[in-house]
């Protein structure tokens, strides 16, 4: 019987960590896309503002400013840094939000004996709580009721 409970506890631990890792990666992708868009929009705004504010009315200065603006608009580094920043922000934010299931999964996976079973039971209870709260809306107030 101990072998079966050990397998069940380890399976629960692996499943919990897998779900947390999947959620972290999905949120990282979402934040990366949003941050890329935000960074590109901010860059576009600063480029247009710089391009539209000539300090003198010179045809040469205007042409130079237009070429520099085109070069800055096509710069591939700005979106890459925005994507990296957003990915890291989303990944670590999701890991922070999922600290309870990560801890319980780690206990179920790494501990032995009663502690391992407590981690698996805790993970199951936490999962049931999340399904009841987020899935069925128990304990949540609708925005309309506020």
Per-residue DSSP letters for 15-45? HHHHHHHHHHHHHHHHHHHHHHHHHHHHHHH
Give pLDDT tens digits along the chain (146 positions). Answer: 589 999 999 999 999 999 999 999 999 999 999 998 898 888 888 888 777 776 677 788 888 888 888 888 888 888 888 899 999 999 999 999 999 999 999 999 999 999 999 999 999 999 999 999 988 988 877 778 76
The pLDDT value given to residue 15 = 96
Instruction: State the Cα–Cα distance between residues 77 and 69, nearest whole angstrom.
Output: 15
The pLDDT value given to residue 63 = 82
The pLDDT value given to residue 1 = 57
- The DSSP string of 49-71 is HHHH--SS--HHHHHHHHHHHHH
Q: What is the model's pTM?
A: 0.78
């Amino acid at each position: 019987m101990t072998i079966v409970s050990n397998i069940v506890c380890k399976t629960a631990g692996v499943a919990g960590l897998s779900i947390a890792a999947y959620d972290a990666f999905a949120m990282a992708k979402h934040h990366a896309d949003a941050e890329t868009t935000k960074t590109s929009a901010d860059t576009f705004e600063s480029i247009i503002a710089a391009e539209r504010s000539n300090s003198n009315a010179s045809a040469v200065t205007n042409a130079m400013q237009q070429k520099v603006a085109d070069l800055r608009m096509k710069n591939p580094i700005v979106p890459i840094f925005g994507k990296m920043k957003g990915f890291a922000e989303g990944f670590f934010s999701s890991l922070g939000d999922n600290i309870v299931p990560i801890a319980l999964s780690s206990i179920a996976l790494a501990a032995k004996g009663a502690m391992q079973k407590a981690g698996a039971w805790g993970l199951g209870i936490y999962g049931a709580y999340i399904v009841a709260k987020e899935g069925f809306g128990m304990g949540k107030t609708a925005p309309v009721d506020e």
